[in-house]
A and B are shown apart, each in its own frame.
Chain A
Amino acid sequence: MNARIDPLDVPADPPGPFQPRSGQRGSGFLTGPLRLGTTPSATVGPYLAIGLTWPDGEQAAAEGTEGGFWIRGRVFDGAGDVVPDAMVETWQADPDGRFPSPEDPRGPAAYPGFRGYARAQTLTGEFAVFTLKPGRVPDGEGGLQAPHIDVSVFARGLLDRVVTRIYFADETEANAEDAVLRSLPDDAARQTLLATPADDGYRFDIRLQGEHETVFFAV
Chain B
Amino acid sequence: MTRSTSDGGSESGLVLPRYLQEDPALRVPVAFPDYRSTGLRAPLRTPVDLPHRLTEVTGPVLGADRVTAADADLTVRTGGEAVGQRILVHGRVLDSDGRPVPDALVEVWQANAAGRYRHVVDTWPAPLDPHFDGLGRVVTDSLGRYEFLTVKPGAYPWGNHHNAWRPAHIHFSLFGRAFPQRLVTQMYFPDDPLFGQDPIFNAIPPAARHRAISRFSLERTQDNWALAFEWDIVLRGTGQTPFETDDDGDVA
Q: Which residues of A line the B interface, CB within 8 A?
A: 33-52, 54, 77-79, 81, 83, 85, 89, 91-93, 99-106, 108, 115-117, 137-142, 145, 148, 150, 152, 154-163, 165, 180, 183-184, 208-209, 213-219
A218 engages B47 (CB within 8 Å): yes
Q: Which residues of B contact A79 (CB under 8 A)?
A: 40
The contact sample of 20 A-B pairs, CB cut-off 8 A, is A36-B96, A36-B237, A37-B22, A39-B233, A41-B183, A45-B171, A50-B134, A52-B173, A93-B54, A93-B55, A101-B177, A117-B62, A138-B14, A150-B179, A155-B41, A159-B31, A159-B32, A160-B28, A165-B50, A209-B41
Q: Which residues of A contact B185 (CB under 8 A)?
A: 39-42
One digit per residue, 1 when the CB lies within 8 angstroms of any chain A CB and 0 when it does not, for chain B 26-52 equals 111111100101111111110111111
Q: Which residues of B contact A91 (CB under 8 A)?
A: 55, 58-60, 179
Report B44-96 residues with CB < 8 Å from chain A CB.
44-45, 47-62, 66, 94-96
Closest to A154 in B: B184
A116 engages B60 (CB within 8 Å): yes
Distance between Cα atoms of A77 and B232 in the complex (Å): 34
B121 engages A46 (CB within 8 Å): yes
Distance between Cα atoms of A78 and B208 in the complex (Å): 29
Is B149's CB within 8 Å of the partner chain A? no
B241's partner among A33, A78, A104, A105 (CB-CB below 8 A) is: A33
A157 engages B35 (CB within 8 Å): yes
Chain A nearest CB, measured from B104 CB (Å): 13
Chain B nearest CB, measured from A195 CB (Å): 16
B50's partner among A101, A116, A152, A219 (CB-CB below 8 A) is: A219
B31 engages A216 (CB within 8 Å): no
A39 engages B56 (CB within 8 Å): no
Distance between Cα atoms of A209 and B40 in the complex (Å): 7
B53 engages A137 (CB within 8 Å): yes
Given contacts A39-B185, A157-B38, A162 and B134 within 8 Å (CB-CB): no
B41's partner among A77, A104, A217 (CB-CB below 8 A) is: A77
A35 engages B53 (CB within 8 Å): no
Distance between Cα atoms of A180 and B55 in the complex (Å): 12
Given contacts A37-B26, A162-B47, A213-B43, A138 and B11 within 8 Å (CB-CB): yes
Is B226's CB within 8 Å of the partner chain A? no
Smallest CB-CB A-B distances: 5 pairs = A51-B109, A157-B37, A117-B60, A157-B41, A101-B58
One digit per residue, 1 when the CB lies within 8 angstroms of any chain A CB and 0 when it does not, for chain B 96-138 equals 1110000000011100000001110110000000000111000
Given contacts A156-B37, A161-B184, A44 and B30 within 8 Å (CB-CB): no
A103's partner among B39, B58, B95, B182 (CB-CB below 8 A) is: B58
Is B217's CB within 8 Å of the partner chain A? no
B14 engages A37 (CB within 8 Å): no
Is B204's CB within 8 Å of the partner chain A? yes
Given contacts A39-B212, A51-B171, A52-B173, A218 and B49 within 8 Å (CB-CB): yes
Q: Which residues of A contact B21 (CB under 8 A)?
A: 218
Closest to B38 in A: A157
Q: Which residues of A contact B109 (CB under 8 A)?
A: 47-48, 50-52
A51 engages B98 (CB within 8 Å): no
A43 engages B55 (CB within 8 Å): no
For the complex with contacts A34-B97, A47-B109, A160-B27, 10 further pairs of A-B residues with Cβ separation under 8 Å are: A34-B241, A37-B234, A41-B28, A46-B119, A46-B122, A77-B40, A79-B40, A148-B55, A157-B37, A157-B38
Most chain A CB within a 10 A radius of its CB, from B41, B50, B94: B41
